[in-house]
Amino acid sequence: MKLRMKILSGFLILVIMLAVAGIFSIYELMSISSSVQSLLDDNYKSIDAAKKMIEAIERQDSGLLLSISGEYREGEQMTGKADRAFLSALDTAKNNCTIPNERDIVEDIDRKYGAYKAIWKDFSSGTPANYDMDWYFGHGHPAFLAVKAAAGELMALNDATMYQTASDLKNRMHRIIMPGIVAIVSALVFAFLFNYFIHRYFVNPIISITTEVQKILKTGKPFSVEIETNDELKDLASAIQDLSFQVRK
């Protein structure tokens, strides 16, 4: 192998090692960025929907209490508006079930809300005198708490998933960093080895040739340098040996 190719191949190996590490890191980063963003968006939608459902069910409960206290018109308006807000948030949650057990929780919310809605629908169509605070604490309030707890469970599930996503991201970052560390360490080791071989097969032969040429000029001693490699340096040594032979002849 010629000297030019030896030196070039050494640098090419370094470039390839660093390029492979860089490409792998970029690929992993892009993969993490897209997957994590998608997960976070889905979790945020479900958490936001759960918050809106809790707020809506609390307004419905307030409307029910308002109606029981005698403010029927205001209570019905508040309950109806909150019902529309709850159903809108529930629809968002139904269309965003992306993690295990999430659909079961959403279906549970739907069932419990249906039961709660039937209670205040009965109140709206019944005789006001039959619906007092005892009725509320015996029927309305337990159903309200059940729906609120189910929505809170949906929020807790997505909170836990977001935390797990952050933990997984931390672990994946370690996997991204490792190829870079390995590439740097390997490049340093290779650089030391490359420097060793450059000195042994390039620098040292040149020093030996130079020393022998100086001896020829001073003493006329025959040129004698053994070059281990079959490259331009060996050709140079052979040419100097022939030249010294011609001079002595």
Q: For the segment 189-243, what is each residue's pLDDT rounded down to a tens digit?
A: 777 777 777 777 777 777 877 877 777 777 767 766 676 667 677 777 777 777 7
Name, in order, each residue with C-beta under 8 angstroms of 90's C-beta and a sequence gap of 6 or more. Answer: 49, 53, 106, 109, 110, 113
Burial class (CB in 10 A: 0-12, 13-18, 19+), 246: exposed
Tokens of 117: 């809605």
Return the H-helix or E-strand segment holding 65.
helix 3-68
Q: Cα dihedral sign for 225, 227, 230, 233?
A: negative
Name the more confident of 214 and 130.
214
Tens digits of residue pLDDT in 14-55:
777 777 777 776 776 666 666 666 667 777 888 889 999 999
Tell me the CATH number for domain 3-185.
1.20.120
| pLDDT tops 90 at residue 149 | yes
- Evaluate whether 80 touches 124 at the Cβ level (below 8 Å): no
Tens digits of residue pLDDT in 50-98:
999 999 999 988 888 888 887 878 888 888 898 899 999 999 988 888 8
Burial class (CB in 10 A: 0-12, 13-18, 19+), 157: buried
Global pTM exceeds 0.85: no
CA distance 98 to 51: 18
CA distance 25 to 3: 34
Tokens of 29: 């980063």
